């Protein structure tokens, strides 16, 4: 496994929904910001369709607040939300324009996007929103004249790994900030327990990485 690059200063994390960064990437983000790098989050939606039994007009603002706190915990203050419809994210010209615009404005060396493949395993197919969004990111990137150096997806098709053993607690706290979301998702399990189980799963120690806990990435594009 190739270690994730270190010779960069600014990363842009692009995802369709609140909580997408927290199911995996946040441990790496905590490590990067602790090392003095800056990380910006941009989200296509506010996840307004994501809390069962809660009206979108209530859920959207609630999830935005939780996402801002999740980001703050791993050292991310720069976060923006676009108004694409949760559960109906499409690879449209409008979405690709928003993605190109934020890349051009933020000028990252590293882009981290959501996994756009078919699924994490036979029993866990990927969501349509994720597949459409990831395709839009690749198309927007390919259309740029001035391309950031690296574009990764957080992915099970691993090319690069970031060792995150020292940042598990930060990642757990960050995911646990999605209090309303998690407490509706599984009312019987305390939010922190849910968060710890998820983070331990997505950062499981790998034999091919000296049994270190890692976040896994797939390099999709490389420029310069
Ligand atoms: Zn998502």
Can you tell me the mean pLDDT for 21-34? Answer: 96
As a whole number of angstroms, the distance between CA 218 and CA 223 comes to 15
Say what the pLDDT of residue 121 is: 84
Helix axes 168-176 and 191-202, enclosed angle (nearest 10): 130
CATH of the domain at 123: 3.40.50.10320
Domain span including residue 128: 2-222
Q: Give distance in angstroms: CA of 17 to centre of ligand 1.
A: 5
CA 114 – ligand 1 centroid, Å = 8
Strands 110-113, 119-121: parallel, antiparallel or unpaired by DSSP? Answer: unpaired
Mean pLDDT (whole number) for 143-165: 97
The model's confidence at residue 174, banded by pLDDT at 50, 70 and 90, is very high
Say whether pLDDT at 41 is over 80.
Answer: yes
Residue 24 clears pLDDT 90, i.e. is over it: no
Average pLDDT, the chain: 96
47: CA distance to ligand 1 center in Å? Answer: 8
- pLDDT value of residue 1: 83
Query: What are the residues whose beta carbon lies below 5 Å from ligand 1 (ion)?
Result: 17, 20
Q: How many domains does the chain have?
A: 1
DSSP classification of residue 70: H
| Cβ contacts of 29 within 8 Å, gap of 6 or more | 11, 13, 21, 39, 74, 75, 76
Instruction: Please tell me the distance between residue 106's alpha carbon and the centre of ligand 1 in angstroms.
Output: 22
Report CA(182)–ligand 1 centroid distance (Å): 14
CA of 210 to the centre of ligand 1 (A): 30
Dump pLDDT digits (tens) for 102-133: 999 999 999 999 999 999 888 889 999 999 99
């Amino acid at each position: 496994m190739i270690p994730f690059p270190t010779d960069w200063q600014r990363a842009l994390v692009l995802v369709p929904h609140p909580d997408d960064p927290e199911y995996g990437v946040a441990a790496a983000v905590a490590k990067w910001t602790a090392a003095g790098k800056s990380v910006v989050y941009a989200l296509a939606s506010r996840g307004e369709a994501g809390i069962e039994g809660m009206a979108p007009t209530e859920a959207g603002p609630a999830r935005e607040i939780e996402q801002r706190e999740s980001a703050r915990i791993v050292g991310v203050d720069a976060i923006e939300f676009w108004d694409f419809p949760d559960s109906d994210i499409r690879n449209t010209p409008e979405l690709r324009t928003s993605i190109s615009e934020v890349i051009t404005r933020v000028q990252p060396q590293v882009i981290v996007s959501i996994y756009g493949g078919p699924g994490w395993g036979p029993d866990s197919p990927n969501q349509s929103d994720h597949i459409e969004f990831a395709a839009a990111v690749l198309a927007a990137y390919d259309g740029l004249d001035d391309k950031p150096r690296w574009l990764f997806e957080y992915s099970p098709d691993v090319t690069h790994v970031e060792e995150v053993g020292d940042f598990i607690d930060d990642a757990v706290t960050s995911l646990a900030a999605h209090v309303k979301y998690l407490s509706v998702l599984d009312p019987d399990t305390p939010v922190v327990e849910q968060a710890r189980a998820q983070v331990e799963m997505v950062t499981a120690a790998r034999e091919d990485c000296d049994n270190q806990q890692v976040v896994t990435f797939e390099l999709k594009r490389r420029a310069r």
